[in-house]
Amino acid sequence: MIVVPHEAACAVSAVPMRLEMAADVIALAEVSRCRQTCPRCRFGALAEKLNASAAKVVGMTTQLPATPDVPVIRTDFSDQEAWERIKAGIGWVTPDEFEANVSFVDDPVFAGATVAELLAAGPDRPTHALLLVVDETTIRSAEHPILVVDLGSEADPDQGWPGEAAGRSFRALPHTIQEIENNLTIANMDWGDFADGVDEDGVRREHMIYGRVEDLEAEADD
């Protein structure tokens, strides 16, 4: 274990930073906590770089946690307020009282992880049809487009189904996640029903029933 005296580097917070190294995995929970609570800390940039480097190892050694609902994996920890907005958007309840069935995975060990690394980390394919990723693009974009990743399906020779490899993806705004998750989870609709409805930039912005987010805002104002 390497202990860095945090108070020696930061005048704002005295939270200790610990960089623990075990089995070639770098755990940076304390560093990331410092970055969230202490934005002026000069260790912030270091924490980001170390987290990104650690993810390359973590993706091969750390398994995704088992979740009862579709996992929403946070891989960018640079903006806590943006993360809270995204969670609220995903958790939007429709006028018909439908909501996305998701489990938020907020663990710095997955910071900087790529889709390939997350897929290698063992998402529960028999239980979930998709994986949702809140990455750097999601956090930094004003619209917060979430990466929707298909977990694929096994071949079924008896039915003449060749199977589908995991990994295809598109982006979707938070308020559209409800219908995407609800329908793909129970196979009520197909991947193409949603992926084919993205805009030119690859982002799905429209809910099939409730329209675009500005439509929701206008309805709320009425």
Q: What backbone torsions phi and psi does residue 118 show, to the nearest 5 degrees?
A: -65, -40
Cα gap 57→25, rounded to integer Å: 6
Query: Does 87 lie in the same domain as 44?
Result: no
Query: Does 144 lie in the same domain as 57?
Result: no
Interhelix angle 177-185/80-90, rounded to 10 degrees, is 60
Q: Which domain holds residue 107?
A: 70-221
The label of the residue with tokens 């969670």 reads 87
Answer whether 132's CB lies under 8 Å from 147's CB: yes
> Which CATH number does the domain housing residue 192 bear?
3.40.50
Q: Is the pTM of this model over 0.85?
A: no
Answer whether 100's CB lies under 8 Å from 90's CB: yes
Query: Does 31 lie in the same domain as 78?
Result: no
Higher pLDDT pick, 156 / 166: 166
Q: Cα 155 to chain center, whole Å? A: 27
Query: Does 148 lie in the same domain as 49?
Result: no
Q: What is the pLDDT of residues 116-130, one digit of tens each?
A: 999 999 877 778 999
Helix and strand numbers (H, E) in the chain are 8, 11
Query: Does 110 lie in the same domain as 21?
Result: no
Residue range 153-157: average pLDDT? 78
DSSP 43: T
Predicted confidence (pLDDT) at residue 137 exceeds the cutoff of 60 = yes
DSSP 78: S
Antiparallel, parallel or unpaired: β 206-207 and 146-150: unpaired
Q: How many domains does the chain have?
A: 2
Which of 61, 80, 104 is the last residue in one of the domains?
A: 61
Query: Does 148 lie in the same domain as 48?
Result: no
Cα gap 81→196, rounded to integer Å: 31
Share the mean pLDDT of the chain. Answer: 78
Higher pLDDT pick, 21 / 76: 76
Predicted confidence (pLDDT) at residue 35 exceeds the cutoff of 70 = no
Query: Does 74 lie in the same domain as 25?
Result: no
Radius of gyration, alpha carbons of the chain: 19
Query: Does 204 lie in the same domain as 123?
Result: yes
Residue range 98-103: average pLDDT? 97
